[in-house]
Chains A and B, each alone.
Chain A
Amino acid sequence: MRYIRPLSIEDAVGQLAGAAGPAAILAGGSDLLVRMKGGFVEPDLIVDIKLIDGLSEIRETAEGFSVGATVPCAALRENAPLKKAWPGVVEAASLIGSKQVQGRCTMAGNLCNASPAADSVPALVAAGAQALIVGPGGKRTIPVEAVPTGPGKTSLARGEIVEAILLPKRAARSGDAYLRFIPRTEMDIAVVSAGVNLTLDEQGVVTAARVALGAAAPTVLLVEEAAEALIGRKLDEAALERLATVCAGACRPIDDKRGTIEFRRKVAGVLARRAAITAYERAGGK
């Protein structure tokens, strides 16, 4: 096995694309090292991308925020403008693992690990975040929900790296929130989760909404019908009831000891409803 630390993204892409055997990208390593230890992956080449210029930065741009691939989740909540604009995304990323894991884990890694229960992903999907991907063919930008294709699988081609997660510029009167259910208070993996992102008009009527569910299907679900249940309304009881019903119906969850299908469906609706109320309040709605 070889370990390299390229200084440019072009070099990293070239090394990954040209590798003869299995190659792995190392950012925070909180998934990769566990999988190596368990014998689930045996890379011949590890490409540590942490020395590449710019990848460890959170940048506020005219288009919104760009969170580099190697930014540890602990750094997200230390960034006041990001936290103010996207509190739901930051609270979701802050739920990954322990304090120790927070010091290493990244949102790009959480996305590319492609777990349906990844905490930051439903919040990113609800936020309308994009993944900036660089590869042998150049750069492309795709919605984050197009990256995972199933548990542990992504749409990334050989040699491609997620360089940054792009969060759009915030419209006025907007708010987002993320909630998950776990059987203990911290350090666990979501049994089911929900992310909601809302924009309101001056009267408090929802003008734009995105609702995403985690651990409810092989990939994170963007539930468009749930957004439709909220748009044009003031988050009244009928709208919330409809949201919960639609979310429960959209789930295609697994049935295991951590939660039955029936339980996951019900809790998905409850969490979506509660996350919508928090997002609404954060957007300034009353």
Chain B
Amino acid sequence: MAGVAVSTTINGDNYEYLCQPDETLLDVLRDRLGLTGAKEGCGTGDCGACSVILDNRLVCSCLVLGAEAEGRTIETVEGMAQGDQLHTLQQKFLEHAALQCGICTPGFLIAAKDLLAKNPDPSEEEIRFGLAGNLCRCTGYDKIVRAVQDAATVMKGA
């Protein structure tokens, strides 16, 4: 089966790859490009562990075909830190112990980044609704919500 040739921008860098027509963007990121931050939890768009930002919209990369990425712009968790400097959200997740096993964390970070970009001063309810597409089976969510609130406060002041 011939592959589909794709040229796309991920975290500001140009990537070119060949993928199968039924291959998901998540599989392309992880298995072809070595970007293993996005995780596969459910594979059906329910858990949010594979969240990425595609042309400024938060999406589940398991529900996007790799072929669809042609000519588009993707942000993944790998693009959040600048060198050794963690993104404020990453730092606050550490400080608030907002992760345990860590599988859901990249998805939460990207979803929270998208949330704060569109709503820099969210209420607790807006954070909880905004992150409802991300499931965590360890933390009980409270620590994640507090980390996002704290990050929002810091980022507003920046």
Contacts and interface: CB of A to CB of B under 8 A. Distances in A.
A74 B63 CA distance: 16
Interface in B2-57: 4, 20-22, 24, 43-46, 48, 51, 54, 57
A100 B108 CA distance: 11
Nearest to A45: B21
Contacts of B63: 29-30, 33-34, 100-101, 104
Interface string B50-93: 01001001111011110110100000000000000000000000
Interface residues of B, number: 33
Interface in A8-62: 26, 29-30, 33-34, 36-38, 46, 48, 50
Contacts of A5: 70
Interface centre among A26, A33, A50, A187 (most CB of B within 10 A): A33
Contacts of B111: 99-100
Given A46-B21, A100-B45, A100-B111, A3 B65 contact: yes
- Name B's interface SS: mixed
Contact of B133 (A2, A37, A98, A185): A98
A33 B132 contact: no
A80 interface: no
A176 to B, nearest CB: 22
A72 interface: yes
Given A98-B48, A100-B48, A100-B51, A29 B132 contact: no
A2 B20 CA distance: 9
A101 B54 CA distance: 12
Given A33-B63, A97-B133, A74 B57 contact: yes
A187 B111 CA distance: 15
Contacts of B70: 5
A204 interface: no
Contacts of B54: 103
A216 B140 CA distance: 34
A99 B130 contact: yes
A99 B133 contact: yes
A97 B22 CA distance: 23
24 contacts: A3-B22, A3-B67, A26-B65, A29-B63, A29-B64, A30-B63, A33-B62, A33-B65, A37-B44, A46-B22, A46-B65, A72-B57, A74-B57, A98-B132, A99-B132, A100-B45, A100-B51, A100-B133, A103-B57, A103-B58, A104-B60, A104-B64, A185-B129, A185-B132
Interface of A: 1-3, 5, 26, 29-30, 33-34, 36-38, 46, 48, 50, 72, 74, 97-101, 103-104, 185-187
Given A99-B115, A103-B58, A187-B132, 17 more contacts: A1-B1, A1-B20, A33-B62, A46-B21, A50-B68, A97-B133, A98-B45, A99-B132, A100-B133, A101-B45, A101-B60, A101-B133, A103-B59, A104-B57, A104-B59, A186-B132, A187-B133
Ordered nearest first, which 4 A-B pairs have the shortest CB separation? A98-B133, A103-B57, A3-B21, A186-B132
